[in-house]
Amino acid sequence: MKQNKLSVAVKATLMGAALSMSSVAFAADKELLDILKANGSISVSQYNELLAKSDAPSESSALLKKMAWAGKLKVKGDLRLRQEFRNDTNGSSSREDRQRYRARIAIEGAVTDNVQAGVRMASAGGATSTNETMGDGFENDAVYFDRAYINWQPVQGLELMGGKIAQPWETVSGALVWDSDVNPEGAALRYTTELGGAKVIGSVGHFVLDDIDGYSFDEDNTMQFAQLVAKFDVAGAKAMLGASLYDYDQNKAGAFTFGGGNDSTKFGMQEVFGSVSVKAPLPLKFYGQYVVNDDADGVNKSEDTAWLLGVQTKVGAWKASYDYRDTELNAVNGAFNDSDFAGGRTDSKGSRWKLAYTIDKNFSVATTYIDSEVGKLNGDLDSDTWQIDLKAKF
């Protein structure tokens, strides 16, 4: 696997330190040396020197093997700078012009051949946003753990994960149900297999929303999900079809507080989604999503559906996408849906345009325009958002 430059630098530094600790060159078996050379942990000259002195004392070989953990460590991250303009109109106009950044760095280690453990740190601590807004008198900003997990593959195709994990479900672009920054807390199981020429993925999970003090485990606010997805080729195109169930279990001690304008206290969302990718004459990907909250209650319980349709393309260094959505008041959980579209409000509809250009490897610029309307049940306003992003990965 190709290593990023930071990972290679870390490993090379560690190996260099180990090599300088002794005037006697390390002895090592050829297999271990080959691995360390391949992933950049040692240079070619170091490799040749160690291989030539394979008859050196065994203590050196033991020390070298202790340093082999560096070859199992991955370090990566990204930084995004954003200029954002936002205008909300409801009789009068409310304008916002702000500069923001998002910084993330992740470390993952191979515990064994089939177990990985990792953490990721990010700026800002919101469930749906890790953006930090500039302009607080040069104060230092806090850093949060937005992932901390163990991932285990006990058998081929089966994956068990627990902790604060990346979203274990499949989806399409648009964040109709889940903002991409959401990292649920709990445990999930995913199984992948081939069936009739299709790749089939089944997954289930249990997540804790609110741990209620003084009550047993079954009294906590939780969410369960189940999903089945098929990916396959048809008539020269690549297709995906999926169905999901997200069920919120509210306890007797007090309901979890939802956001985004929901007045329903119950959510049992059923979702279907799919995409089709074609190559000629222009590479295009069409996608769609439909959600209904069958458990909606309250005065506006009939406001329970949401849908999205979109298309995206990539030509050379350019990427472009467009989607349109309509989200009724209680269709999705307003605490976790897209925080950029209509400010995260439900009872909203509108369009999103995005254009991105890759300047160089791992370095790109993008612009996004969101034209949305929020209905009378949740503010009755027009919301326009324009974002300009500069992104770097390492």
pTM of the predicted model as reported, rounded to 2 decimal places: 0.82
pLDDT recorded at residue 23: 35
Q: What is the pLDDT of residues 40-51, one digit of tens each?
A: 677 788 777 777
Q: What is the mean pLDDT of the chain?
A: 87
* Main-chain dihedrals φ then ψ at residue 331, nearest 5 degrees: -75, -40
Q: What is the pLDDT of residues 186-204, one digit of tens each?
A: 999 999 999 999 999 999 9
Tell me the domain boundaries of the chain. Answer: 5-69, 153-393
262, 259, 257: which is closest to 377 by C-alpha? Answer: 262
d(Cα 367, Cα 365) in Å, to the nearest integer? 7
Tell me how far CA of residue 21 lies from CA of 33, 45, 57, 62, in angstroms.
Answer: 18, 17, 15, 13
Nearest Cα to 271, choosing from 358, 170, 341, 360? 170
Residues in the chain: 394
Residue 2: its pLDDT value, please? 47
Per-residue pLDDT of 49-79, as tens digits, reads 777 765 555 555 666 666 677 778 999 999 9
pLDDT at residue 1 in the model:
45
Condensed to tens digits (0 to 9), the pLDDT of residues 336-391 reads 999 999 999 999 999 999 999 999 999 999 999 999 999 988 888 999 999 999 99
DSSP H helices, 260-341, are: none
**What is the residue-wise DSSP string for 2-54?**
PPPHHHHHHHHHHHHHHHHT-SSPPP--HHHHHHHHHTTSS-HHHHHHHHHTT
What distances in angstroms separate CA 302 from CA 33, 80, 207, 318, one per listed residue?
65, 39, 27, 41
331: left (phi over 0), alpha (psi -120 to 50) or beta: alpha
What integer pLDDT is reported at residue 213 of this predicted model?
A: 65
pLDDT digits (tens, 9 = 90+) for 90-136: 866 788 999 999 999 999 999 999 999 999 999 988 999 999 999 99
Q: Does 153-393 carry CATH code 3.40.50.880? A: no
Q: Could you report how far apart the first and last alpha carbons of the chain are, in Å? A: 15
pLDDT band at 211 (very low <50, low <70, confident <90, very high): confident
| HEC secondary structure over 158-184 | EEEEEEECCCCCCCCCCCCCCCCCCCC
Helix (H) or strand (E) holding 287, with range, is strand 284-293
**How far is C-alpha 42 from the geometric centre of its chain's CA atoms?**
32
User: Which run of H or of E encompasses 64?
Assistant: helix 58-66
Res. 5: pLDDT tops 90: no
Model confidence at 4, pLDDT cuts 50, 70, 90, reads: low
pLDDT, position 46: 78
* CA-based R_g, the chain, Å: 25
Cβ atoms within 10 Å, residue 39: 19
pLDDT in tens, 218-273: 678 899 999 999 999 998 899 999 999 999 987 555 556 667 788 888 999 999 99
**Token digits of residue 140:** 């230092």
pLDDT in tens, 259-288: 778 888 899 999 999 999 999 789 999 999
* Cα dihedral 340, 343, 349, 354 in deg (nearest 10): -20
- Rounded Cα–Cα distance for residues 117 and 109 (Å): 6
Cα–Cα distance for residue pair 393/163, rounded to 1 Å: 25
Measured CA to CA in angstroms, residue 162 lies from 96, 148, 176, 183, 201 at distances of: 39, 8, 24, 11, 18
For residues 292-298, average pLDDT: 93
Lowest mean pLDDT among 8-12, 321-325, 384-388: 8-12
Categorize the per-residue pLDDT at 8 as very low, low, confident or very high, splitting at 50, 70 and 90. very low
